[in-house]
Every structure is written in structure tokens, then in C-alpha cells.
Structure 1
Amino acid sequence: MPNPSYTEAEFNHQVNKSGAKAIVTIPALLPIMLKIAKRNNISKDMIFLFGDESVDGIQSFRSLATDNDTIILPIKEIQAADDVAFICFSSGTTGVAKGVMLTHRNFVSQMVMVTDFEGTDSNQPDDVIIGFLPFFHIFGLTTLVLRAFYTNTPIVIVPRYDLELICRLIEKYRITIGPIVPPVAVHFAKSDVVLKYDLSSLRTIGSGAAPLGIEHIEALQLRINVPVRQGYGMTETTAGCIYQKIGVSPAGSTGVLIANMECKLVDIDNGKGKKKKHCCARKYL
């Protein structure tokens, strides 16, 4: 699930490193993905398009479905702790993006640990999530795809970030949960567009991917008076591993470590640190 704004070289890096045998894309990216497929010996009949229509002989992803009754059997001999479920590429801030091989157990553990940590703050029966975070990012994948399935929570999907559209959808569908990133918090806090809509249905806002300062939290809450839960995580930790406790953690703090994770706090002046409990090592491509 690469970033659709990638260059040809970036697409090629991920397809090549992951050893992809098939590509599912959108019509707008088809010209560039045909080039990538050719460079990586992926035949045209292994390229599929989201939607119902074929383009230039490339089949739609829906064409793989069948109208016949199908019995789905469990995959046999799967090793949950070792078998890779997703190859999620890191942000590449210190070099090229690294393919992080995350197993089935990584994702199952993430769902269980986070919902257990949140307790009564976790998803409620009437919750609805606004979904504009990218699904190719670990934050979006865990929150808007896997966890939504796990908790059976509806998502209103927004194809791309548009503040007015998002506000309109929050009002229309009575959205209760808003996963965001810090630039979005700043935008909500400063834009008068927010004042045109009733956003009172929101029950909680979760922010991640970068630090959100207390001044931005306070400015956001002047517009939307709901708890803001901040968390810390990485692709390598299968998303969040440190979260704030609503009503307990000070605004702007990192939060507390969730169960079965380990971290090390390091004094950058002398290099000494203290260890807190459990995080598994990650495998890279």
C-alpha cells in the first residue's frame, strides 16, 4: 500500500523490495504502475484496478469476485508469530524507506493491547470514525482498517483531506471518533470553517505520527471541547505503544506504556537510560 504521491523511483523501490507478484492500483496511477510492473517482471494480467471498470485491458479488482456461493476455509499451517501479514514501509526520514515485516501476531497483539488499555474509553456501540488518514500508513492501517473491523465500528471514508468536507461529514453522520495528525489539529484550531458546523457529536480525538504541543491542544479544544488522546508509536512497533490516559495524563505529555511493550528512556547528555517493559525486535527488508 504505497503512497499514491510517490515518484516512479519510490514506487519501484517498494515493489522491488517487497517482491510483489501482483499490483492493485487506481486508474490515475496505471501508466506509472505499468512501467513499474515491466521493470519487476509482473505480467499485465496480475495488475488490477479498484472499482468496477477495466481500463486498456487491465481488469478491475472486483472481477476477481464470484457470484457463486463460496466457502472460505481457514489458512492451514500458518505460523502467526513468524508469517508476515503486511510489509509496511517506514517514513524513510534517515534514508530510503525500510520494509518492516509485521506478522499476524503483531497486529492481533496491537488490537488486543490497545483496546485493553483504553478500557471504557474504547469504541462504543454507537461510535462512528472519520477516516481521512492514509491507509498505507501504519496509523491509518491499524486504526481505520484493522481496528475498525475488530471493534465493528463504521468508518466514513474521505478520499483526501478537505477540512470543510470533513466538518460537513462529522455533522451529517454524527462522527464520534476523530483520528488526526498535528497539522490537522492546527488547521481545526485556526480555520473559521470549523465554526460553520456542529461538531458536538465528537467524543474523542486521537493524535499521532508527530508530537502535538499543549498550546495546539488548548487551541483545538477552544473549538472542539473533547478529550485529545496523544500517542507514540512507529511502524516498527505496529503503531502505538505509548498512549495518554484520558483524564489522567497531562495535556501534551507522551503518556504511559501499554502492556507487553518495552522502551528505554535515555538521558541524551550522558547516554544513560532506564528500561521499561517489553518490545519485540523488528525485521526489515
Structure 2
Amino acid sequence: MSETRSGGGRPPSVECEVEGGVGVIRLNRPECLNAVDGALVEELGEAFDRVARAHAGAVVLAGRGRAFCAGHDLKEPAADPAELPARLERTQDLTRRIRACPAPVIAAVHGHAVGIGVELALCCDLVIAAEDARFRFPEAGLGLSITNAASRLLPLLVGPLKAKELVLLGEPVDAAEAHRIGLVNTVVPAGALMDAALERAARLAGQPRAATALAKEALTAGTEQGVEAALELEVRHALRTERPAALFADPVGASRARDAR
């Protein structure tokens, strides 16, 4: 099964296919390093719904082009401030949908993973990084707020002190250091990233799916209460930052701006 979504003649922001029991979801805005706008948020949520309906045994989340995801698209027209709470909730809902996906989700990260790009990887069950991967949380320095339960999931992986260092200072972390501190499971050569992710996904899809799904559910449940509280707190914080409307580009305004160029 292969499905994509687009509107108004533009390419889809997210590609989705399921073959051999493995779902592959790719962020597809390579011209802007897969920066996140409102359309990508919507399409990514729909993609996870599709792989769940297809009963995929495992899912790989990757990015087209030179990067996994370079964060929020700050170059596009900002969202209407009146719509920001709803947009924030839709983005936070990505965490819920990824974590609720019955199949294990593997993030295949290459190039830049910035801000929400790292947060999307944190939502996944396993993270495989290419040697050229670079992780960074620049939000505090940009007057923005972390989202997608990073305030809960990041300290669980790397510890509270390291999490504060990464978020407050916003310094980049290379793949080797990300592996050392527990941010990723394994590091592979850049050219071997998708093969490694698909090999692990095929292995997971070949296991008894009910048992695998139950194991994921049980392990996720251990942090779920804290995650929901983190998602709600992050929305409140995001609405109080210096540039809340810049968190999410307006896909309609962005389309009009491109047409005017």
C-alpha cells in the first residue's frame, strides 16, 4: 500500500507507504530541510493513522533530503494568534498518536534534527542515527518553547541535569555523543541508515504482533501520566513565550506568499 496526500497541486509534506508489514513515513519538505508547518503536522498525524489502519507491524519515520527535520518553519507566515492554542494542541497530539500507534516506531535520523525534529524522534520507540546526525534544542534562545512532551521524555532518556543543559544552552550534540548520553539507540554510517532501520523494522514486524504491541503499551504506560501532564504544561508555556505565533507556520498564508513570489 502506498499513499500520499497533497492539496492545491503542491507536493505532499509527508509520504507514507506500507509494504511487507512495515510502514515507512517520510517527511517530504527537503527544500527547507523538512521544517515543520501546519500542513506537515496535519499530514504526519494522518500518516500514523494510515499505518495503524493497515496493521503495520513496525514503522520507520525518516526525512527526505539532507536532514531529518530542521525544526519549526520560521520563514513562513506566522499562524493567526487566535488559532495558536488549537495549532499547539494539534502538534501535541502527534506525540499521543505516535505513542499510541500499536506498532513500534523507529526514528531514522540523519543530518539536522532541530527542535521539534528532536522531539519527534523522542516520541518514537527506537532511534537510529546516521553518523552525520546533529541534535539541538534552540527554542529557549529563539524565544520559543519546547513541545511534544520533550520536557518529560528528554530527562527520562538523558537525565535531568543533561536535559537542562541541552535545552537551556541549545548546544548541538553529534551522533556519537547522542549515543553516549542515551538519546539514540545506535549509530550507523550515513549510507546505511535506512537499511539498518528497515532491517530492525522487518525483525519487529516478524514477531508476534499482539505480544509486541502489548510490550510497547506496557512500557509506554510507565511514563504516560507524566507525558500527558507535560503536554498540557508545554502548551501553557508556549502561549507565554516571546514568539508564540512563530511556532507554527500558516499553510494557507504560506501558499499565498509563494504564489505571490
Alignment TM-score, normalising by the size of structure 1: 0.26
Q: Of the two, which has the highest radius of gyration?
A: 1
TM-score normalised by L of structure 2: 0.28
